[in-house]
Amino acid sequence: MPMISNVSCTPPSPHDDSLPPVGSGKRRKLAVVLFNLGGPDSPAAIRPFLLNLFKDPAILRVPFFVRPILARIIAKARVKPASENYALLGGKSPLLELTQEQARTLEQALPEFEARCFIAMRYWHPFAHETVREVKDWDPDEIILLPLYPQYSTTTTGSSLTDWREAAAAAGLAKQTFSLCCYHSDRDFASATAALVRKAYDEARNTLPDDVPLRLLFSAHGLPEVIVKKGDPYQFQVERSTAAVLRAMNIPGLDHQICYQSRATPQVWLGPSTEEAIDRAVEDGVAVLVVPIAFVSEHSETLVELDVEYAELAHGKNIKGYFRVPTQNSDPEFIDSLAGLVRRVREHGPGLCSFAGGRVCPRIHRDCPHGEQEDAA
Ligand SMILES: C=CC1=C(C)c2cc3[nH]c(cc4nc(cc5[nH]c(cc1n2)c(C)c5CCC(=O)O)C(CCC(=O)O)=C4C)c(C)c3C=C
Ligand SMILES: [Fe+2]
Ligand SMILES: [Fe+2]
Q: List pLDDT tens digits, range 236-282.
A: 999 999 999 999 999 999 999 999 999 998 899 999 999 999 999 99
Give the bridge partners for 127, in sequence order: 121
Q: Is the pTM of this model over 0.80?
A: yes
Percent of all residues in the chain with a pLDDT value above 70, rounded to a whole number? 92
**Banded model confidence at residue 4, pLDDT cuts 50, 70, 90:** very low
Q: Determine which residue's CA is closest to atom 8 belonging to ligand 1.
A: 221
Q: Name which residue sits closest to atom 30 of ligand 1, judged by CA.
A: 37
24 has a pLDDT exceeding 60: no
Strand order in the sheet with 142-147: 114-121, 29-36, 142-147, 176-180, 351-353
How many angstroms separate the CA atoms of 101 and 223, rounded?
28
Q: Which ligand is in closest contact with the Cα of 299?
A: 1
pLDDT per residue as tens digits for the range 71-105: 999 999 999 999 999 999 999 999 999 999 999 99
- How high does pLDDT run on average in the chain? 93
List the single range of 2-11, 139-148, 321-330 with lowest mean pLDDT: 2-11
Which residues have any ligand 1 atom within 6 Å of their CB? Answer: 37, 39, 50, 53, 59, 78, 82, 85, 93, 95, 149, 153, 155-156, 221, 223, 234, 264-265, 294-295, 299-301
- pLDDT of 204 reads 98
Encode pLDDT of 202-218 as tens digits.
999 999 999 999 999 99
The CATH code of the domain at 29-42+92-182+333-354 is 3.40.50.1400
Taking 70 as the threshold, does the pLDDT of residue 20 lie above it?
Answer: no
The ligand 1 atom at the shortest distance from the C-alpha of residue 227 is 5
SS3 per-residue string spanning the chain: CCCCCCCCCCCCCCCCCCCCCCCCCCCCEEEEEEEECCCCCCHHHHHHHHHHHHHCCCCCCCCCCCHHHHHHHHHHHHHHHHHHHHHCCCCCCCHHHHHHHHHHHHHHCCCCCEEEEEEEECCCCCEHHHHHHHHHHHCCCEEEEEECCCCCCHHHHHHHHHHHHHHHHHHCCCCEEEEECCCCCCHHHHHHHHHHHHHHHHHHHHHCCCCCCEEEEEEEECCEHHHHHCCCCHHHHHHHHHHHHHHHHCCCCCCEEEEEECCCCCCCECCCEHHHHHHHHHHHCCEEEEEECCCCCCCHHHHHHHHHHHHHHHHHCCCCCEEECCCCCCCHHHHHHHHHHHHHHHHHCCEEEECCECECCCCCCCCCCCCCCCECC
Are 189 and 183 spatial neighbours (Cβ–Cβ below 8 Å)?
yes
- Ligand nearest to the backbone CA of 295: 1
Q: Annotated binding site for Fe(2+), which residues?
A: 221, 301
- Please name the residue whose Cα sits nearest to atom 13 of ligand 1: 37
pLDDT over 90 at 359, yes or no: yes
Residue 21 has pLDDT above 60, yes or no: no
Question: Which one of the ligands is nearest to 181 CA?
Answer: 3
Residues in the chain: 377
Instruction: State which fold the 187-324 domain adopts.
Output: Rossmann fold (3.40.50)
Residue pLDDT, tens place only, 118-129: 999 999 999 999
Q: What is the pLDDT of residue 10?
A: 38
Annotated binding site: 221, 301
Cβ < 5 A residues, ion ligand 3 = 233, 361, 368
| Start and end residues for every CATH 3.40.50.1400 domain found in the chain | 29-42+92-182+333-354, 187-324
Query: What confidence score (pLDDT) does residue 373 get?
Result: 59
